[in-house]
Amino acid sequence: MFRQILSVETSCDDTSVAIVNAEGFVLAQCSASQDLQHAPFGGVVPEVASRNHTIALLPLIEETLKKANLSMNDLDGFTVTNRPGLIGSLIVGVMTVKALSQAYNKPFIGVNHLEGHLLAPFLKDNEYAPPADFNYPYIALAVSGGHSSLYWVEAFNKYTIIGTTKDDAAGEAFDKFAKMLGLPFPGGVNVDRLSKGGDRKKYDFPRGLLHEKNLMMSFSGLKSAAHRLLTKMSDDEKKAETPHLCASFQEAVVETLVGKMTLAAALFKTKKIVITGGVSANSRLREMASEMTAKGYQIVIPPIRYCTDNAGMIGYAGILHLNAGESSPLDQGPASSSYEADFTVRLREQI
Ligand code: KG4
Ligand code: ZN
């Protein structure tokens, strides 16, 4: 029985370490964002990301142990995101955890990053606990800079991809739109901030695939429409219109996400929905989610520290696998894609 383990997440540009127990309680979590390092390039630069992981990871492991007031001897094993992600970033976490596993003679397991996002609603700590009656099965909307997908989460290790974007991820759309407006990276949070007080209906941006009765999404048409509109505007006009442009763009993204997750809930005859990933920080998405709560849905959005890339969620996924009797062989490497066995894929393209 694994009681508590140390977990490492380095799949993209956040370095994160946590100690998590078998109930999903996060004893400590320490993360380092690399936003400042990537901002001058307007996006994540893989080489810069892996180099920064090598600098940040070991001090974060020490800090996490200290914060939890534990030593390596108090841990029963290790877990690490080994797929999917940027290969150079994944290597740093995987190699470090393998070395720890060997040095301390304790098992480790490599887990899928997206499984972490799907299980994040169960995480708890001294400040947060999910609703007492929350449990499987549920619909999960995972939306970030790298992914926008809908899942049917029936139980631990029983995940079906039921819908996904055909092109850009929702966070990517926010970031590209922000870049067009000259806003700093990462753009989503700035679009959200600047949309306050803006007229959501002033610009009629396309809602890709929203009215098709399936669970597929598309954000590239929206991006092109925004590009066409902005190239016709002068810099002064763009500046003056920024709140309306941001509010209207955000409305198009959020309406699409909410429309598809509502359809998914109807198809799977559930009222339970989890929203996870960096875009779940969006204030308009949260506002629409609370309107749905008033209509009888149970919508669980983990706190931001467990929504953006974090080691807490990886720790919970890892300890569940270890307690199910699994562990990784020493020759398991990082992989840029998910394994075929990770998810059942049943895309609801035609309903
Ligand atoms: O999960 P995350 O931290 O990293 C991955 O991409 O895996 O998500 C980051 C994404 C970025 O695209 C960022 O712009 C977006 O989440 N984001 C937001 C907001 N906060 C972060 N998008 C819209 N509104 C926000 N408030
Ligand atoms: Zn992620």
pLDDT tens column, 93-112: 999 999 999 999 999 999 99
CB of 30 closer than 6 A to ligand 1?
no
- The boundaries of every CATH 3.30.420.40 domain in the chain are 4-128+306-338, 138-301
CB of 219 sitting under 6 A from ligand 1:
no
CA 301 / ligand 1 centre spacing (Å): 14
How confident is residue 39, by pLDDT bands cut at 50, 70 and 90?
Answer: confident
The answer to whether the peptide bond before residue 186 is cis (omega within 30 degrees of 0) is yes
The answer regarding whether domain 138-301 maps to CATH 2.40.50.140 reads no
Q: Ligand 1: does its nearest atom lie under 6 Å from the Cβ of 187?
A: yes
The confidence band for 20, taking pLDDT boundaries of 50, 70 and 90, is very high
Average pLDDT over all residues of the chain: 95
State whether the beta carbon of 309 lies less than 6 angstroms from ligand 1. Answer: yes
Q: What is the mean pLDDT of residues 62-79?
A: 98
pLDDT at 84: 97
Find the helix packing angle between 170-180 and 187-194, rounded to 10°.
70
Given a cut of 70, is residue 170 above it in pLDDT? yes
State the Cα–Cα distance between residues 41 and 132, nearest whole angstrom.
44
If pLDDT is split at 50, 70 and 90, which confidence band does 351 have? low
More reliable by pLDDT, 144 or 351: 144
| pLDDT range class, residue 173, cuts 50, 70, 90 | very high
Closest ligand, as measured to the CA of 84: 2
- Tokens 């972490």 correspond to 116
> Does 191 score more than 80 pLDDT?
yes
Q: Does ligand 1 come within 6 angstroms of the Cβ of 192?
A: yes
Say yes or no to pLDDT of 68 above 70: yes
Which residues are in the CB-under-5-Å shell of ion ligand 2? 144, 309
Distance 203 CA to ligand 2 centre (A): 30
Q: Which CATH code is given to the segment(s) 4-128+306-338?
A: 3.30.420.40
Instruction: Tell me what pLDDT residue 350 has.
Output: 62
| pLDDT confidence bin for 83, thresholds 50/70/90 | very high
Q: At what angle do helices 235-267 and 187-194 cross, to 10 degrees?
A: 100
In the chain, the amino acid numbered 160 is: T
Q: What is the pLDDT at residue 185?
A: 84
Give the separation between CA 145 and CA 49, rounded to whole angstroms. Answer: 15
Taking residues 44-59, what's their average pLDDT?
94
308 Cβ inside 6 Å of ligand 1: yes
Residue 70 above 80 pLDDT?
yes
pLDDT at 348: 74
CA dihedral sign of residues 190, 195, 197, 198: positive
Q: Which residues pair with 165 in a beta bridge?
A: 217
Q: What would the two tokens of residue 118 be? A: 């799907």
H-run or E-run covering 225: helix 220-231
Q: Is 84 in the pocket of ligand 1 (CB under 6 A)?
A: no
Residue given tokens 């009629």 in the structure block: 204
Give me the sign of the Cα torsion angle 110, 28, 85, 324: positive
- Give the integer Cα–Cα distance in Å for 197 and 173: 21
Q: In angstroms, what is the span from residue 199 Cα to ligand 2's centroid?
A: 31
Q: What is the pLDDT of residue 228?
A: 96
**Rounded CA gap, 222 and 335, in Å?**
31
Residue nearest to atom 24 of ligand 1 (CA): 282
Amino acid, single-letter form, for residue 112: N
Checking if the pLDDT of 300 tops 70, the result is: yes
Q: pLDDT digits over 136-153, tens only?
A: 999 999 999 888 999 999
